A and B are shown apart, each in its own frame.
Chain A
C-alpha cells in the first residue's frame, strides 16, 4: 500500500513538468504553429532558474527568470518561423539544439551543486488525512499551479473570444486575416506562452524535481511533451491524462525492479512514443474528432495576402 501511495505521488510529480510544457505547446499548436523546440526551451528554463537561484534571488524570482528565459528562447523561433516564414520543423529543431547548447553554457559552474529545492507545502488538516493526504495534499505549490494552468488554458480556449480567435486562426489563418485578426501577432503571443510554459516545466526539474543542474537534464521530456499533445488529440483534458500515463511510465522505469517488474526499462521508455503512434492512427480514423480538434493549418507558414 505504501509503495502504491509513493508511486502514485511520484507519478503526479513526474507528470508536472510534462503538463506545463504540453499545455504550452497545445496553445501554440492550436494557433497553427508547430514548435519542435520544447526540449531546448525547457533546458534554457532549467538553467536560468538555477542561475537565478545561485545568484541569491528568491525562489519566486528564479521561477520568473525561467519563464522569461523560455519565452525569450521561443521568440527566436517566432522570428524565424513567423516573421521570416522559414520551415517550422527546421526552426523548431534548430531551437531544440540551440537551447541545449545555451543551457549547457549558462549552467557551467553550477554542475551538480544541490539546490535548496522548493518544498512541499503542508496543508493543515488536509495533508494529515491518512492515505488521501499523502496522495493528494503533500505536494509542492507548482504541482497545484499546474492544475490552475490547466483550468486557465481550458477556460481561455473554449470560453473566451480570444481563445475562439486563436482556434480559428489555427484552422484557417487566411479567413481569420480576412475578418481582421492579426494572425502573426496572435501567433507570436501563443508561441511565447508556449516558451514560458516550457521554461517553467524546465525549472520544475532543476529547482524541485532533481533538484540540481545537470547538463541535458530534461532527458527527452520535451519530446515526450510534444508527443503528448498529439496523444491528447489537441484536447487539454487529455493532456492531463496523458501526462499521468507518461509520468507513470517514467516512475515504472525507475522503480520497476523494486516492484519486481520483468519488462526492460528501455521498452518502457519507448512506450510513450508507441502510444502516441497508436493514438495518431486511431484519431485519424475518427474524422469528426479530427475535424473538430486538429488545427488544420499546423506548421504551414502564413503569408498575409493583399
Chain B
C-alpha cells in the first residue's frame, strides 16, 4: 500500500538547536500513527513542517507517493491535510457557525453551513450547536468545533496535537471513538502525545522522538509503557517513593465558604468553596481547565484579596484580608503555573529571581539588597534541586521549563513554608524533571508541611495526592480519599455530572484525619 504520508530525512535547525535531525516516518491510509516524545523532543516542529507552517531545511515529504515540492498551509489543504491545534484558534465573540464560515473558502452561507455542521457532528458523535457563541462553550466543546471544522473538509490526514490535555477521561473515550471511526473510513491520523497509556490504547504504530531524533518505531499495542518511556526519556524513570503520612492535629490551611467574582470576562466565579489541608498531606484539586482553578489559586495565594478575613485561615489565623506578600511572610508559599512572568522574571538572573521571594531570609537590609547572599542562596538551590543552569547569574528565560520549575520550587521550599500551593507543577516539564518535582512535593509533605496541588493531569494527582477535591464550574466537591476513589469517579465529577459524595460532617472529618 502506498503510504498516505511519508517523510524522508527531514531536518530543521533553529539558532542553537537542531529541532529535527534526519527524521523519517510513514503513515498508511487509515492508520493512527503516534508521534511520541517529551516536551522539546521536536514534535511540534515536525508537525509544523508536515502542515507547511514552517519549511524544513532538508528532506522530502511525499503525499500518496508524490513528492510535495513547495509546501505551505494552502498546499496542505489541497492535499487534504488538516490540523487540530493544541491551542484553539477560535473567536469567542461570534458563533460556532460563523467561526467555521471564516475558514471556509467562497461566499458565506450560514444556514447551509449550519446544516452541514449538524450532519457531520451527528455522524461522528461530536455534538455541537452551530448557533451557540463560542465564549459559552467548554474547552472540550471548543475542541469538537475545531475537529468538526477539519472534518467538513473531508481530510485524508488529520493531525492532532496533544488533544486530550484539556479533556475529562470520559471525553477522551468519546474522542477515541470518533478517531477510530475516521480511521475505519480511511482517514489517516497523526496523534501527537506524551501520554503513553493513550497511545497504547489508540494507535496502530508509533514513532518516538528524543532530542530531535527518531529513537524508536514500534507497535504501541505490543509495547509496555515502560519500554515506550525508555525510548522517550532514554533511561528508566525513578520509582515514586510515597510513605504513609502523619497528619497535624489542626488544619494548617482552611478555606471557608469562599465566594469570588471572576477577574476576566471569561472567568469563573467561585461558589461557596471550602477546603482544609493538614500538615503532612498532599491535597489535589482536579478539574478541567477553566473551571475556577485560576481564581482559587489567586484567592489562596493572595493575588486576589477576598472580602472577609475569615474566608481563608492559616494556622488558626484569618488571612483573607492580607496581600500575597503578607501571606508569604506568614508561611504560605505559592508556585504559579506560569513560570515565566509570574513565578520568575524572564530577563532577570536566577539570583535576582531568588531575591523576589527569598528576601525574607535576611537578604535585604535598610532597603538595600545583599547581592552576595542572593547569589549564595541561588547557588544552593541550583545544587540542592538539581537545576541544570550555568550558575546564579543565568537568566531565567534561558532555562528549560523543567529546570526553571525546579529552581522556583526550590526557592519556595527553602523558605520553609507551612503551606505550599503549587499550580500545574509539571506543565511543560520533561518527564525526568516532572518525576523529580513530584518526589520533592511528597518529601515536603512528609516532613510535616501541607501541600496543595492544582493540576489538570489526573494521573499526576493520583500518583502523589492523599486526598482530592474536584472543582467544576467554580464549585468544589467534598474531599475524596485517594484510596477510596478512582479515575472514573473523579472524571464524572469533573464534568459536573457525577453524583457528589455526601458532605461528611466537618467535625468527624477533622477527627478522622487527626487520628
Residues of A near any B CB (own CB < 8 A): 160-161, 164-165, 167-168, 171-172, 174-176, 178-181, 287, 290-293, 296, 306
Chain B residues near A168: list those with CB within 8 A: 91, 94, 102
Chain A residue with Cβ nearest B262:
A287
Once the chains bind, are B54 and A171 in contact (CB under 8 Å)?
A: no
B128–chain A nearest beta-carbon distance, Å: 18
Chain A residue with Cβ nearest B267:
A287
Chain A residues near B90: list those with CB within 8 A: 175
Is residue B298 contacting chain A, with contact meaning CB distance below 8 A? no
What separation, in Å, do the CA atoms of A296 and B93 have in the docked complex?
A: 10
Chain B residues near A291: list those with CB within 8 A: 92-93, 135, 265-266
Once the chains bind, are B101 and A292 in contact (CB under 8 Å)?
A: no
Chain B residues near A172: list those with CB within 8 A: 89, 91
Is residue B133 contacting chain A, with contact meaning CB distance below 8 A? yes
Given contacts A180-B73, A291-B265, A306-B54, contact A161 B101 (CB under 8 A): yes
Chain B residue with Cβ nearest A159:
B108
Chain B residues near A296: list those with CB within 8 A: 93
Once the chains bind, are A164 and B94 in contact (CB under 8 Å)?
A: yes
Given contacts A161-B108, A164-B108, A287-B265, contact A175 B101 (CB under 8 A): no
| Among candidates A164, A175, A293, residue contacting B98 with C-beta atoms closer than 8 Å | A164
| Among candidates A164, A176, A181, A306, residue contacting B101 with C-beta atoms closer than 8 Å | A164
Once the chains bind, are A179 and B54 in contact (CB under 8 Å)?
A: no
B277–chain A nearest beta-carbon distance, Å: 31
What separation, in Å, do the CA atoms of A165 and B102 have in the docked complex?
A: 7
Once the chains bind, are A175 and B89 in contact (CB under 8 Å)?
A: yes
Chain A contact surface mostly = helix
Q: Mark B79-100, 1 if CB is under 8 A from A, else 0.
A: 0000001000111111000100
> Given known contacts A164-B94, A164-B98, A167-B91, what 4 new A-B pairs fall within 8 Å (CB)?
A164-B108, A167-B93, A179-B103, A291-B135
Given contacts A291-B266, A292-B133, contact A164 B102 (CB under 8 A): yes
Q: List 8 A-B contacts (CB under 8 A).
A: A161-B108, A164-B108, A168-B91, A168-B102, A175-B90, A178-B89, A287-B262, A287-B265
B residues 41-88 touching A (CB-CB < 8 Å): 48, 53-54, 73-74, 85
Is residue B107 contacting chain A, with contact meaning CB distance below 8 A? yes
Chain A residues near B135: list those with CB within 8 A: 291-292
Chain B residues near A293: list those with CB within 8 A: 93
Chain B residues near A164: list those with CB within 8 A: 94, 98, 101-102, 108
- How many A-B pairs have beta carbons closer than 8 Å: the answer is 54
B residues 7-26 touching A (CB-CB < 8 Å): none
Chain B residue with Cβ nearest A161:
B108
A167–chain B nearest beta-carbon distance, Å: 7
B209–chain A nearest beta-carbon distance, Å: 21
Given contacts A291-B265, A306-B54, contact A160 B108 (CB under 8 A): yes
Once the chains bind, are A292 and B93 in contact (CB under 8 Å)?
A: yes
What separation, in Å, do the CA atoms of A238 and B178 have in the docked complex?
A: 45
Chain A residues near B103: list those with CB within 8 A: 179-180
**A-B complex: 8 closest residue pairs judged by Cβ atoms:** A161-B108, A175-B89, A291-B265, A168-B91, A179-B103, A178-B89, A287-B265, A171-B91
Chain A residue with Cβ nearest B48:
A306
What separation, in Å, do the CA atoms of A141 and B266 have in the docked complex?
A: 45
Chain A residues near B92: list those with CB within 8 A: 171, 291
Chain B residue with Cβ nearest A289:
B265
What separation, in Å, do the CA atoms of A176 and B98 have in the docked complex?
A: 13
A237–chain B nearest beta-carbon distance, Å: 17
A170–chain B nearest beta-carbon distance, Å: 9
What separation, in Å, do the CA atoms of A291 and B267 have in the docked complex?
A: 11
Given contacts A164-B101, A168-B102, contact A175 B91 (CB under 8 A): yes
What separation, in Å, do the CA atoms of A165 and B94 have in the docked complex?
A: 10
B151–chain A nearest beta-carbon distance, Å: 16
A244–chain B nearest beta-carbon distance, Å: 27
Chain A residue with Cβ nearest B95:
A164
Given contacts A167-B94, A172-B91, A179-B103, contact A290 B108 (CB under 8 A): no
Once the chains bind, are A306 and B98 in contact (CB under 8 Å)?
A: no
What separation, in Å, do the CA atoms of A167 and B92 have in the docked complex?
A: 11
What separation, in Å, do the CA atoms of A287 and B264 have in the docked complex?
A: 8
Chain A residues near B262: list those with CB within 8 A: 287
Chain B residues near A178: list those with CB within 8 A: 85, 89
B residues 93-131 touching A (CB-CB < 8 Å): 93-94, 98, 101-103, 107-108
Chain B residues near A179: list those with CB within 8 A: 89, 102-103
B89–chain A nearest beta-carbon distance, Å: 4
What separation, in Å, do the CA atoms of A180 and B133 have in the docked complex?
A: 22
Chain A residues near B133: list those with CB within 8 A: 292
Chain A residues near B89: list those with CB within 8 A: 172, 174-175, 178-179
Chain A residue with Cβ nearest B135:
A291
A65–chain B nearest beta-carbon distance, Å: 35
Chain B residues near A167: list those with CB within 8 A: 91, 93-94
B299–chain A nearest beta-carbon distance, Å: 18
Chain A residues near B54: list those with CB within 8 A: 306
Chain B residue with Cβ nearest A175:
B89
What separation, in Å, do the CA atoms of A306 and B52 have in the docked complex?
A: 11
Once the chains bind, are A290 and B265 in contact (CB under 8 Å)?
A: yes
Q: Which of A167, A168, A174, A181: most chain B CB closer than 10 A?
A: A168
